[in-house]
């Protein structure tokens, strides 16, 4: 396939320019939209976003019913009952929670408040009318909103929808929930022998994609083969493609060339540290993010670029999903004008942050002790000590 | 199989006693331990807990090497180079990041700081010795600790292990990480027609088990069949079993009887609202948690009891995983002495909490607006307004 855009080939030449991170974000925000809404069974909906508000299908409960296990009675028949004054319940009907109330009954005496004496039943506690009874629509009324459009479904929401009758039989299609399906994300590894083995970068990226609401379509190892990579970019079936490795300026850094061959390389070289050799473009209309192969750089480029693409494709808020806390620097964070620097930081005993590792040379053991990261904007040379910054917590 | 414990059968009688939540926690903590440590490929380790500290397998990098793509040089040869004073690099060798430094070289001129003139290369910027070079062990030294024992592996940790050479070839078994494997959790549904359809409760419970570090072994619908349920309790293959439904005092509440038949019913009836019909016991040595079938009660019993069991079985901290924040009550939270009440609460515009739903009658639409929950201890009648409480946030 011919290249759709002129390619500035950085191999052996270096980057002529690195695009601001904001330009990459604008590219992502302009081109990536959630897949169309679908109706899926509740069991597939955990973590997905509601495409529209979910309304109660009917009154719940659909009619007055027993709320507890016990004996359905007319409350008046229990008047004066107590443990020293058992009152015979001649008209009592044993019910379990959810049973309709028999005619003439307005309360349920729980088994604990009754005793069986041979074939007869006595109340040992009085109940008021309505006690032990769930009124029709006590939980929710037909047509009322249960969950708003855009809600990311929590485990408890699934139980709530079950409780509201989604799945309890309201006719055809019951239990199908209108959601934005998880985008199918293809992960292509072009690491080769010098970086970590491909499946290792795949482990990290798959975990990150899952965190951000994507479904991993495939993890494929294409090593540094230009044509194999171009073919994998062009293959249909994914909503979004991430590649890792081979984005730099060496002769075998074929990922940008492969993307240009499969479609278009729209940006290559982003003004960020680490991860500055990242790129992005389109292949067959599908957005492709090129991440560096060095794992710490790949992580930074994922967090700053690819994660945003995955979240937008999932219909989730585009911003960083990490818990953001305002903290004060205990030491200077040095940065470079012209690039967004991702500083791994750790909290000291006073709850202030100090650098855990340099953006450029992370030092692995140090990076492992990081509690989160701080982003230093491109226009800043760094942050002195004693200054408030936002820390994005790792989790 | 004969019952191992005398069964107090609550069917048609009611609960004689409900055990304090702390007694249930002690039962869980005494009997549930993580499965033995295993070595698993990195790609299967996301979210698992390290069984032991991970040490660096070797120096990383294993020798001095190029840190950037460019020309390996003796730094002294670039002295005085600038864009108006190109200096010919007669001994330059093109390298890519990760290549070993050729003999006699002590720096790498990035391609951006060089220009090709026909077959020759000129430096247009001077470099200092060590520039563009990663020294042996700059990232980590053989035998140093990368990650501590007990660490729950984050996505970035997987990249870090990849960067440290786990998977890059240190001999047999490379890339295998010592972890506590996810406990296999069987989910048995005994809902029947009145509760939500079984697969719906399964959706909620599977999502919760995943959140707490468990792997769902199977979700099986055994409806209200006593023998089928007892058989599913006794079936080997799970580290932990959760059942949902049929725990109450009605004639078809067979789950406790089935557990007694398959092993032992150690507690039935827990002093908590909602979810007070929960129970626990053992079947073939495997802990079994009985959760109510009403979804909101099942959720509460999961959060207060089963989640703790799953987390302990995964080697994770037993406490609630929800983000805990200290908030002040905007309104009274009414509770019942003798039971732990789980109050769903929402934050008002002033950041104070008000009840979103009663523990007993949640009111679904209201519950959906809850931001989290507050636990009122058994010895408390409730909390007046203006009092600090801990909110556990839903997510």
Q: Which domain holds residue B166?
A: 38-61+137-180
Taking alpha carbons only, the member of A378, A395, A267, A245 closest to residue A320 is A395
Is the residue at A141 inside a domain?
Answer: yes
| Nearest Cβ partner for B140 among A41, A202, A364 | A364
- Out of A7-11, A360-364, B46-50, B178-182, pick the least confident: A360-364
Q: Do A295 and B147 touch (CB under 8 A)?
A: no
What's the token pair of residue B171? 């001999």
Taking alpha carbons only, the member of B248, B265, B269, B268 closest to residue B6 is B265
Query: Tokens 């109940």 belong to which residue?
Result: A127
Interface check for A212 against chain B (CB to CB < 8 A): the answer is: no
Instruction: Report yes or no: A48 and A213 within 8 Å, Cβ to Cβ.
Output: yes
Mean pLDDT across chain A: 89
- The minimum CA-CA distance between B33 and chain A, rounded to whole Å, is 24
Is the residue at A4 inside a domain?
Answer: no
Across A195-294, the runs of DSSP E, i.e. the strands, are 215-221, 240-244, 264-268, 272-273, 279-283, 286-291
CB pairs under 8 A between A and B: 274
Please name the residues between 330 and 369 in chain A that touch chain B, using a CB distance below 8 Å. Answer: 361-365, 367-368
Q: What is the ipTM of this complex?
A: 0.85
Average pLDDT over residues A14-30: 96
Taking alpha carbons only, the member of B353, B312, B342 closest to residue B214 is B312
Between A200 and B273, the higher pLDDT residue: B273
CATH number at residue A341: 2.40.340.10
Burial of B238 (0-12, 13-18, 19+ CB in 10 A): buried
Interface check for A372 against chain B (CB to CB < 8 A): the answer is: no
- The minimum CA-CA distance between A171 and chain B, rounded to whole Å, is 13
Residues of B in contact with A365 (CB under 8 A): 56, 140, 144-146
- Count CB neighbours of A175 within 10 A: 24
- The minimum CA-CA distance between B131 and chain A, rounded to whole Å, is 12
Instruction: Report yes or no: B249 and B279 within 8 Å, Cβ to Cβ.
Output: no
Instruction: Report yes or no: B266 and B259 within 8 Å, Cβ to Cβ.
Output: no
- The minimum CA-CA distance between A28 and chain B, rounded to whole Å, is 23
Q: What is the H or E stretch that residue A105 is in?
A: none
- The minimum CA-CA distance between B156 and chain A, rounded to whole Å, is 6
Query: Is the domain of A246 the same as that of A172?
Result: no
Query: Is the domain of A208 the same as that of A305?
Result: yes
- Count CB neighbours of B226 within 10 A: 16
Burial of A91 (0-12, 13-18, 19+ CB in 10 A): middle
Is the residue at A77 inside a domain?
Answer: yes
- Count CB neighbours of B128 within 10 A: 11
Give this prediction's pTM. Answer: 0.87
In angstroms, the CA A220 to CA A263 distance is 19
Query: Is the domain of B89 the same as that of B192?
Result: no
Confidence of residue B395 (pLDDT cuts 50, 70, 90): confident
Query: Is the domain of A221 the same as that of A307?
Result: yes
Judged by DSSP in three states, B111 sits in helix
Average pLDDT over residues A72-92: 93
Residues of A in contact with B296 (CB under 8 A): 159-160, 163
Residue A5 has pLDDT above 60, yes or no: no
Instruction: Report yes or no: A176 and A44 within 8 Å, Cβ to Cβ.
Output: no
Is the residue at B108 inside a domain?
Answer: yes
The residue among B42, B109, B150, B200 with the most chain A CBs within 10 A of its CB, best to mutate, is B200
Residues of B in contact with A175 (CB under 8 A): 197, 199-200
The residue among B159, B179, B322 with the most chain A CBs within 10 A of its CB, best to mutate, is B159
Instruction: Report yes or no: B189 and B219 within 8 Å, Cβ to Cβ.
Output: yes
In angstroms, the CA B281 to CA B263 distance is 8
Q: Is the dihedral of CA A239, A245, A246, A248 positive or negative?
A: positive
Query: Is the domain of A108 the same as that of A222?
Result: no
Query: Is the domain of A88 the same as that of A56?
Result: no
- DSSP-assigned letters across all residues of B261-272: HHSEEEEE-BSE
- For β-strands A215-221 and A184-189, DSSP reports them as parallel
State pLDDT tens for residues B98-107.
888 999 999 9
Query: Tokens 């890519």 belong to which residue?
Result: B96
Between B43 and B172, the higher pLDDT residue: B43
Instruction: Report yes or no: A259 and A267 within 8 Å, Cβ to Cβ.
Output: no
Taking alpha carbons only, the member of A279, A295, A199 closest to residue A241 is A279
Name the domain boundary from A151, A180, A209.
A180
Confidence of residue A230 (pLDDT cuts 50, 70, 90): very high
Name the domain boundary from A134, A154, A171.
A134
Q: Provide the H-helix boundaries in chain B.
A: 21-31, 155-163, 198-211, 226-234, 255-262, 295-301, 307-313, 364-368
In angstroms, the CA A50 to CA A162 distance is 15
pLDDT of residue B311: 96
Query: Is the domain of A303 the same as that of A195?
Result: yes
Q: Do A156 and B394 touch (CB under 8 A)?
A: yes
| Nearest Cβ partner for B364 among A160, A249, A298 | A160
Query: Is the domain of A186 the same as that of A302?
Result: yes
Q: Do A362 and B139 touch (CB under 8 A)?
A: yes
Query: Is the domain of A334 the same as that of A384?
Result: yes
| Angle subtended at Cα B315 by Cα B309 and Cα B316, rounded to the nearest 5 degrees | 80
Q: What percent of chain A has pLDDT over 70?
A: 92
Interface check for B13 against chain A (CB to CB < 8 A): the answer is: yes
pLDDT of residue B164: 74
- Count CB neighbours of B106 within 10 A: 18
Q: Is A355 left (phi over 0), alpha (psi -120 to 50) or beta?
A: beta
Interface check for B285 against chain A (CB to CB < 8 A): the answer is: no
Is the residue at A319 inside a domain?
Answer: no
Residue B169 has pLDDT above 70, yes or no: no
- DSSP-assigned letters across all residues of A24-59: HHHHHHHH--PPPPEEEEGGG-TTPEESSPEEPSS-
- The count of domains in chain B is 4
Q: Do B139 and A361 touch (CB under 8 A)?
A: yes
Confidence of residue A169 (pLDDT cuts 50, 70, 90): very low
Is the residue at B109 inside a domain?
Answer: yes
Closest CA in chain B for residue A294: B163
pLDDT of residue A137: 86
Average pLDDT over residues A10-26: 94
Percent of chain A that is helix, strand, coil (3-state, to 5) = 20, 30, 50
Average pLDDT over residues B115-121: 88
Q: What is the H or E stretch that residue B145 is in?
A: strand B145-147
Average pLDDT over residues B258-274: 96
Provide CB contacts within 8 A for B85, sequence distance 6+: none
pLDDT of residue B193: 52
Query: Is the domain of A151 the same as that of A51?
Result: yes
Confidence of residue B58 (pLDDT cuts 50, 70, 90): confident
Interface check for A203 against chain B (CB to CB < 8 A): the answer is: yes
- DSSP-assigned letters across all residues of B47-98: TPEESSPEEPSS-BSSS-EESSSEEEE-GGGGTT-BTTB-EE-TT-EEE-TT
| Nearest Cβ partner for A162 among B114, B161, B196 | B196
Interface check for A143 against chain B (CB to CB < 8 A): the answer is: no
Confidence of residue B2 (pLDDT cuts 50, 70, 90): very low
pLDDT of residue B142: 87
Residues of B in contact with A343 (CB under 8 A): none
Is the residue at B174 inside a domain?
Answer: yes
What's the token pair of residue A387? 């200054």
Confidence of residue A2 (pLDDT cuts 50, 70, 90): very low
Interface check for A381 against chain B (CB to CB < 8 A): the answer is: no
Is the residue at B383 inside a domain?
Answer: yes
Instruction: Report yes or no: B140 and B93 within 8 Å, Cβ to Cβ.
Output: no
Confidence of residue A368 (pLDDT cuts 50, 70, 90): confident
Confidence of residue A356 (pLDDT cuts 50, 70, 90): confident
pLDDT of residue B174: 57
Burial of A384 (0-12, 13-18, 19+ CB in 10 A): exposed
- Out of A164-173, B43-52, B379-388, pick the least confident: A164-173
Query: Is the domain of A228 the same as that of A108?
Result: no
CATH number at residue A109: 2.170.190.11
Q: Which residues pair with B189 in a beta bridge?
A: B221, B244
CATH number at residue A204: 3.40.980.10
pLDDT of residue A1: 44
Provide CB contacts within 8 A for B93, sequence distance 6+: B71, B72, B102, B105
Query: Is the domain of A175 the same as that of A210?
Result: no
CATH number at residue B144: 3.90.105.10
Q: Do A250 and B96 touch (CB under 8 A)?
A: yes
Q: What percent of chain A has pLDDT over 90?
A: 65
């Amino acid at each position: 396939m011919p290249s759709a855009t002129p390619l500035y080939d950085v191999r052996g030449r270096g980057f002529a320019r690195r695009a601001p991170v904001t330009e990459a974000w604008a590219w992502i925000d302009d081109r990536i939209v959630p897949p169309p809404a679908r109706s899926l069974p509740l069991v597939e909906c955990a973590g997905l976003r509601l495409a529209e508000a979910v309304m109660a299908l009917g009154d719940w409960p659909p009619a007055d019913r027993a709320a507890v296990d016990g004996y359905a009675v007319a409350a008046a028949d229990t008047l004066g009952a107590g443990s020293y004054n058992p009152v015979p319940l001649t008209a009592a009907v044993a019910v379990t929670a959810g049973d309709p109330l028999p005619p003439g009954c307005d309360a349920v005496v729980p088994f604990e408040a009754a005793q069986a004496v041979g074939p007869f039943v006595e109340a040992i506690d009085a109940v008021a009318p309505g006690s032990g009874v769930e009124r029709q629509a006590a939980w929710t009324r037909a047509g009322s909103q249960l969950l708003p459009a855009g809600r990311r479904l929590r485990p408890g929401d699934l139980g709530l929808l079950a409780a509201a009758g989604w799945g309890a039989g309201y006719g055809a299609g019951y239990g199908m929930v209108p959601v934005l399906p998880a985008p199918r994300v293809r992960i292509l590894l072009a690491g080769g022998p010098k970086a970590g083995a491909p499946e290792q970068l795949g482990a990290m990226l798959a975990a990150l994609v899952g965190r951000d609401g994507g479904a991993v379509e495939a993890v494929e190892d294409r090593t540094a083969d230009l044509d194999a990579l171009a073919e994998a970019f062009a293959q249909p079936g994914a909503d979004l493609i991430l590649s890792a490795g081979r984005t730099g300026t060496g002769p075998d850094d074929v990922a940008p060339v492969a993307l240009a061959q499969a479609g278009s390389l729209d940006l290559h070289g982003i003004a960020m540290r680490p991860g500055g050799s990242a790129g992005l473009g389109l292949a067959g209309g599908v957005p492709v993010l090129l991440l560096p192969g060095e794992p710490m750089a790949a992580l930074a480029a994922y967090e700053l670029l690819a994660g945003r693409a995955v979240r937008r494709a999932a219909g989730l808020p585009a911003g960083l999903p990490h818990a953001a806390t305002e903290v004060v620097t205990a030491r200077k964070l040095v940065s470079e004008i012209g690039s967004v620097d991702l500083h791994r930081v750790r909290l000291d005993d006073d709850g202030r942050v100090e650098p855990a590792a340099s953006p450029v040379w992370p030092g692995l053991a140090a990076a492992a002790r990081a509690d989160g990261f701080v982003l230093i904007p491109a226009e800043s040379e760094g942050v002195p000590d004693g200054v408030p910054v936002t820390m994005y917590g790792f989790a």
